[in-house]
A and B are shown apart, each in its own frame.
Chain A
Amino acid sequence: MKRTVGQLMARTALRVPLFLWTVAVLYPIFWMFLGSFKTNAEIYSNPWGLPETFNFQNYVMAWTDYNISTSVFNSLIVTVLGAILCLILAIPTAYAIERIKFKGSHVLFTLYISAMMIPMVLAWIPLFFLLAQLNLLDNLVGLAVVYALSQLPFTIFVLTSFISTIPKSLEESAAIDGMSPYGILWKIVTPLTMSGIITVTIMNTIQFWNEYFMALIFLQSEGNYTLALAIDYISNEAQYTNAWGTLFASLVIAIIPVIILYAIFQRRITKGMTEGAIKG
C-alpha cells in the first residue's frame, strides 16, 4: 500500500515537468495567434493576455499592404514545383538502385547518401554564380530546382527502403506478360510505393514551405519573395514601423498549412523523420 502511494506521488511529480513543457511549447504558439488579433496599442499595453476584441485588420494589412498574398503564391509555386521535380528525379534512380543489378550501384547509393551529411553552405557560393549564368537567379523556378536537388538524397534514401518491401514476384509476372521495364516502373512499382511517395512528399513540402536561407541567397527582388523572406522582411521593418500585429498575422499565415498537414499526417511525418535520422 505504502509503495503504491509512493508511486502515485512519483507519477504526479513527474507529470509536473511534462505539463510545464507543454505550456512552454503551446503558449508561444497560442500567443502568436492571439497577437495577430490585437491592435498595436494592445500589444504594448497587454502583450501576454487575451485581445479585447478579435479583429482581422492585421490579416487584411498583411495580405494587401505587405504583399503576403504574393509571397504565399510564390511559396506555393516553389513548394509544388520542387516537390514534383524531386519525385521525378528520385523515383527512377531509387528503383534502379534497389532492383536492377549493375556495377557501382552501391557506390552510387553511398554517394547520394553522403551528400546528406555534407554542409551545403560551401556549395551555395558557386551555385549562386551558376544560377546567374543559367538566368535562374532571382527566379522561382531556379529556387525550386535547387530545393528539389537539396532533398534528392533524402528522397532517394526513403524511396529505396520502401521499394525494397515490394515483393519482386509482381514485377516478374508483369515482365513475363510482356510489360516493358518502363511500364513496370510507372504502372506497377510507382503505385505500390505510393505510401512512401506520400510520406516523403509531405516532408519535402513542409521543408520547402519553411525554407529560408537558400531563398535569402538566391532570390533578390521583393516580387519573388517567398513567405519566409517576406516575414523576415516585415520583422526587420517592424523595428521602425511597429507593425507587430501584421507580423503576427503573417506568422500565422505561414504556420497554418504546416499545422493542417501535421494534423492529417502526424504519424507519417514523425515516422519519416525518425527513420531518416536513424539511417542517415
Chain B
Amino acid sequence: MVQNKKQKYIFLAFCLIPTFVMFSIFTLYPLFSGLYFSFYEWSGSSQSREFVGLNNYIKLFKDEIIPATIWHDYFLVVTKVIGIMILALFIAVALTQLKIKEAPFYRIIFFFPNIMSVVVIGILWMFIYNPSLGLVNSGLEIIGLEKWTKPWLGDEKWALPSLVLPSIWAGIGLFMLLLMGGIANISKSTYEAARIDGANEWQQFWHVTLPLIWPQIKISILYIVITTLNGSFIIVQVMTGGGPNNSTHVMGSYLYQQAFKQYNFGYGATIGVMILVVSLITVLLLQFLLRRDKVEY
C-alpha cells in the first residue's frame, strides 16, 4: 500500500511537474516579472537598468497619449459589441426561426472569417479602404457621393472608425453560432404557447427568444470585450501601426511602440500593467452589470 502511494505520487509528479515548470517559466514568471519591470527604467542593455520607483506610473498619468489609447480601446469595444451583437442576433434568429433550406451554407460562409489570420484580414481591408483602388471609394463614386470619398485609414478622424468594420466582419461568425446554440435549446412548446396567447413573431422575439438566450448574449458580450481589450492592437498594428498621428493607437499597440520600437521597456511594462488592470476592472464591472436572474418558462 505504501509502495502504491509512492507510485501514485511519482506518476502524479510525472504528469504535472514538467508541464507546470514550463508554464511557470514561460507564462507565470514573465507575468510577474512584467510587474517588477514596471518599477525600472530600462533600455534593454544589462547595465542601464535603474530602479525608479513609481516614476513610470507618474509618467503614465502625465502621458497625453495614454487617455487617448484607452478611449480608442473602449471605442472599439463599444462599437464592436453593438455591431456584432445586432448582426449576429439577426442572423442567428433568421437562420434558426425561418427554416431556410440553405441555412447551413450561410453558417459555413459566415463563420469562415473567424479563422482567417489577422494579417490577411488587415491587408485585405487596407485594400478595401485604399484611396485610389479601394472598394469603398469607388463604390461611393458610383452612387454619386464623391464628396464622401477620403483616404480612410490616412484620415485622423476616420481611421479608427474604419477599423471597426473589419473587426465586425471577422468576428460575427462565432457569436452567430453561440446564439444559434442558445436558440436551438428553447423548446418548441414555448413558442407554441406564446403563439396561442396571440404573440406575433416580433413579440415572440422580445418576450421568448431574447430572455431565454440571455446567458449566451452575456457570454458573447463578455467574450467580445475581453478579446478586444486583450487583442485589438493586432489589427491596429497591421492596418495603421497606430497612426496617423497616434489617432488609432490602442493600449497594446502603444506598449509595442514604447517597448520594442523606442526601447522603453520599463515604461512598456507599466502600460502592460495598466492593460491588465483596465481589462480586469472592465470584466468585473460587466459581470456585475449583466447579471440577471436566469429565466425559465
Q: Which residues of A contact B (CB under 8 A)?
A: 10-11, 14-15, 17-18, 21-22, 24-26, 28-29, 32, 43-44, 47-48, 89-90, 92-93, 95-96, 100, 102, 108, 112, 115, 117-130, 145-146, 149, 152, 181-182, 185, 206, 209-213, 216-217, 228, 231-232, 235, 247, 251, 254-255, 258-259, 262, 266, 269-270, 273-274, 277-278, 280
Please report the C-alpha to C-alpha distance between residue A101 and residue B152 in the assembled complex, in whole angstroms.
58
Q: Does B135 count as interface, using CB distance less than 8 angstroms?
A: yes
- Give chain B interface residues in 240-280, CB to chain A under 8 Å: 252, 255-256, 259-260, 265, 268-269, 272-273, 275-276, 279
Q: Considering only CB atoms, which chain A residue lies closest to B265 in the complex?
A: A125
7 A-B pairs besides A22-B106, A122-B34, A216-B237 with CB distance below 8 A are A32-B124, A96-B15, A100-B15, A108-B16, A122-B275, A123-B27, A232-B119
Contact B18 A117 (CB under 8 A): no
Q: Does B65 count as interface, using CB distance less than 8 angstroms?
A: no
Contact A21 B110 (CB under 8 A): yes
Given the contacts A92-B15, A149-B27, A119 and B279 also touching, CB distance less than 8 Å: yes
Contact of A235 among B25, B98, B123, B169 (CB under 8 A): B123
Most chain-B Cβ atoms within 10 A of its Cβ — which of A92, A209, A247, A277? A277
Distance (whole angstroms) from the CB of B277 to the closest CB of chain A: 10
Given the contacts A102-B12, A217-B260, A258 and B117 also touching, CB distance less than 8 Å: yes
Contacts of B252 in A (CB 8 A): 119, 121
Please report the C-alpha to C-alpha distance between residue A24 and residue B110 in the assembled complex, in whole angstroms.
10
A-B contact pairs, 22 of them (CB 8 A): A21-B91, A44-B133, A48-B135, A92-B19, A100-B15, A118-B31, A119-B272, A121-B230, A125-B272, A126-B34, A145-B26, A146-B26, A149-B22, A210-B119, A212-B237, A213-B237, A254-B120, A258-B116, A258-B117, A266-B108, A273-B177, A278-B219
Contacts of B135 in A (CB 8 A): 28, 48
Contacts of B229 in A (CB 8 A): 119
Per-position 1/0 for B82-105, Cβ under 8 A of A: 000001001100110010100000
Please report the C-alpha to C-alpha distance between residue A54 and residue B106 in the assembled complex, in whole angstroms.
29
Most chain-B Cβ atoms within 10 A of its Cβ — which of A149, A213, A235? A213
Contacts of A277 in B (CB 8 A): 174, 178, 219-220, 223
Please report the C-alpha to C-alpha distance between residue A278 and residue B181 in the assembled complex, in whole angstroms.
10
Contact A48 B138 (CB under 8 A): yes
Contacts of A18 in B (CB 8 A): 91, 94-95, 100, 106
Please report the C-alpha to C-alpha distance between residue A112 and residue B177 in the assembled complex, in whole angstroms.
26
Contact A182 B11 (CB under 8 A): yes
Distance (whole angstroms) from the CB of A111 to the closest CB of chain B: 8
Distance (whole angstroms) from the CB of B272 to the closest CB of chain A: 3
Contact of A125 among B15, B108, B133, B269 (CB under 8 A): B269
Please report the C-alpha to C-alpha distance between residue A129 and residue B8 in the assembled complex, in whole angstroms.
38
Please report the C-alpha to C-alpha distance between residue A44 and residue B19 in the assembled complex, in whole angstroms.
53
Contacts of A209 in B (CB 8 A): 117
Given the contacts A126-B33, A277-B223, A121 and B177 also touching, CB distance less than 8 Å: no
Distance (whole angstroms) from the CB of B113 to the closest CB of chain A: 6
Q: Does B75 count as interface, using CB distance less than 8 angstroms?
A: no
Q: Considering only CB atoms, which chain B residue lies closest to A278 in the complex?
A: B219
Contact B123 A231 (CB under 8 A): yes
Contact of A119 among B22, B87, B276 (CB under 8 A): B276
Contacts of A129 in B (CB 8 A): 44, 265
Given the contacts A89-B18, A127-B26, A235-B126, A212 and B110 also touching, CB distance less than 8 Å: no
Q: Considering only CB atoms, which chain B residue lies closest to A145 in the complex?
A: B26
Given the contacts A121-B272, A125-B259, A92 and B14 also touching, CB distance less than 8 Å: yes
Q: Considering only CB atoms, which chain B residue lies closest to A236 in the complex?
A: B241
Contact of A122 among B18, B29, B31 (CB under 8 A): B31
Given the contacts A122-B269, A124-B30, A149 and B226 also touching, CB distance less than 8 Å: no
Distance (whole angstroms) from the CB of B30 to the closest CB of chain A: 4
Contact A149 B11 (CB under 8 A): no
Contact B273 A232 (CB under 8 A): no
Most chain-B Cβ atoms within 10 A of its Cβ — which of A90, A117, A182, A206? A117
Contacts of B181 in A (CB 8 A): 274, 278
Q: Considering only CB atoms, which chain A residue lies closest to B251 in the complex?
A: A121
Contact of B114 among A124, A212, A217, A273 (CB under 8 A): A273
Contact B120 A231 (CB under 8 A): yes
Per-position 1/0 for B227-245, Cβ under 8 A of A: 0011001100110000000
Please report the C-alpha to C-alpha distance between residue A43 and residue B234 in the assembled complex, in whole angstroms.
27
- Give chain B interface residues in 149-203, CB to chain A under 8 Å: 169, 172, 174, 177-178, 181, 201
Please report the C-alpha to C-alpha distance between residue A128 and residue B34 in the assembled complex, in whole angstroms.
11
